[in-house]
Structure 1
Amino acid sequence: MAKLILTHEVTGLGAPGDVVDVKDGFARNYLMPRGLATVWSKGAEKQVAVIRSARKSREIATLEDAKAIRDSLQSKPVVVTAKAGASGRLFGAVTTTDIAEAAAAAGAPAIDKRKVEIGQPIKAVGEFTVLVRLHPEVSATVTVKVVAA
């Protein structure tokens, strides 16, 4: 077993700053190469405090605020404009950054791109559903409408 400090949120494992024990292969082949975790050591405990304080500043403070943001995000679809071919296929894909920026431009409260989870890559014009984790207890299901530019 390998003891690691998560530097990014990993679904099903933990949030940034968490110290986790995972199997060696998972650490060596998935978490470490993608930069999602670093090796734990006594000196790295200082790094954990920095990661946790940065996470606290980005998080939504209360459950009520998270529910209010969820209601505003779910009330109307987020419209993302992207370059597309004649068949409706996009040149590239819609990213979490695109969705977060489009939501902010539409007047919704700012959301962190790292909290947006896209199930399947969005590579065509149409309506898609994405999950936004606003708080440990609150998630929003947001409709993303992709239109051709």
Structure 2
Amino acid sequence: MKVILLENVKNVGNKGDIVEVKDGYGRNFLLKTKKGIIGNRENVKIAEQAKIDDSKRLEEERAEAVALAKVLDETEIKITERAGEDGKLFGSVTSKDITEALEKATGIKVDKRKVELEMPIRNVGRIEVKVKTYQGVIGTLTIVVEGEA
């Protein structure tokens, strides 16, 4: 029996795949739990078109992410925090502070979880931070932390 999967099914296939399964498994599990539909000609055409549309959408998202990464590579943000004479900050600069400063300076919204910051920044200086914009696409944001008395 041919079945088009509507969601990922372990050991069977992923969403949108057209799989050949035993009749009982298809009727009694996949169709009843709405995890799949019968793979007739009409449904197969619809599924193939949906797969093409998904691949185009993913390619567009990736292109947008690459463009955003290039913009981030060229962007420099200044953050001013209270600091001592030796250049140590009284507080710290976190990924949340970075995303807020980025949005205020350029209008670009980035999720704070996408900023790869191992430890909060505690010193004055110039730091390069990696920002994930998409799976496998990373932009490098330059941050200048300045101290004020």
Same fold (TM over 0.5): yes
Question: Residue 120 of structure 2 aligns to which amino acid in structure 1?
Answer: P
Residue 108 (structure 1) shift: 4.5
For structure 1, which runs of at least 5 residues remain unmatched after alignment? 1-60
* Secondary structure of the structure 2 residue equivalent to 1:106: helix
Q: After superposition, what is the alpha-carbon deviation per residue over 1:49-89, rounded to whole angstroms, capped at 9, x for unaligned?
A: xxxxxxxxxxxx70111111111111121211111112211
TM-score by length of 2: 0.55
Q: Over aligned residues, Cα RMSD in angstroms?
A: 1.5
Structure whose alpha-carbon radius of gyration is higher = 2
Question: Residue 83 of structure 1 aligns to which amino acid in structure 2?
Answer: R
Structure 2 match to 1:118 = 117
Question: Residue 105 of structure 1 aligns to which amino acid in structure 2?
Answer: K
2:77 aligned with 1:78 = yes
Residue 104 (structure 1) shift: 0.8
2:130 aligned with 1:128 = no
2:104 aligned with 1:105 = yes
Structure 1 match to 2:143 = 144
In structure 2, what is the Cα distance between the partners aligned to 1:115 and 1:85?
A: 30
For the 8 Å contact 2:95–2:120, the answer to whether it is kept is no
For the 8 Å contact 1:73–1:108, the answer to whether it is kept is no
Q: After superposition, what is the alpha-carbon deviation per residue over 1:71-129, rounded to whole angstroms, capped at 9, x for unaligned?
A: 11111212111111122110121100010011111114110001001134311110011
For structure 2, which runs of at least 5 residues remain unmatched after alignment? 1-59
Structure 1 match to 2:66 = 67
In structure 2, what is the Cα distance between the partners aligned to 1:139 and 1:86?
A: 35
Count the aligned residue pairs. Answer: 89
User: Identity over the aligned pairs, expressed in percent?
Assistant: 37
TM-score by length of 1: 0.55
In structure 1, what is the Cα distance between the partners aligned to 2:119 and 2:142?
A: 14
For the 8 Å contact 1:79–1:144, the answer to whether it is kept is yes
